[in-house]
Amino acid sequence: MFLYFRRLSILGERSKRQGSLVDFYHLFGHLSGLLFIKPDMEPISLYRTVAVVHFLDAVLCSVIATHSGRRRVAWTIGGLIFGIWALGMLFLLPGKKPADV
């Protein structure tokens, strides 16, 4: 009944790539949580602060893993890489009971 012309899709035509949706600074800042606290943080300050915070998280993971009966080295590396997320998981996991010998 009604004749109409289909509009071309924006995905149908080839276009230049406009760049990545998220750059490393924003991805790193949001995964660490620091950009939620201070959104206008300088990149060098962000990287230094993330390094210090992840180092402290690794130390805390090491201490808590030792006291809860878990593998200290594995949790220290996990705290160094994943930071507050590894520390949160360590807090949520129940403590291991020593095996009866």
Domain residue ranges in the chain:
39-92
Minimal CA–CA distance to 32: which of 10, 52, 14?
Answer: 52
Distance of CA 94 to the CA centre of its chain: 23
Averaged over 41-55, what is the pLDDT? 91
Q: Are 76 and 61 in contact (CB under 8 A)?
A: yes
The pLDDT value recorded for residue 101 is 46
CB 58 within 8 A of CB 51: no
CA distance 4 to 73: 67
With a pLDDT cut of 90, the percent of the chain lying above it is 41
pLDDT of residue 18: 58
pLDDT in tens, 73-96: 999 999 999 988 899 999 999 877
The most confident of the ranges 7-11, 17-21, 44-48 is 44-48
Q: Is there a contact between 91 and 64 (Cβ–Cβ < 8 Å)?
A: yes
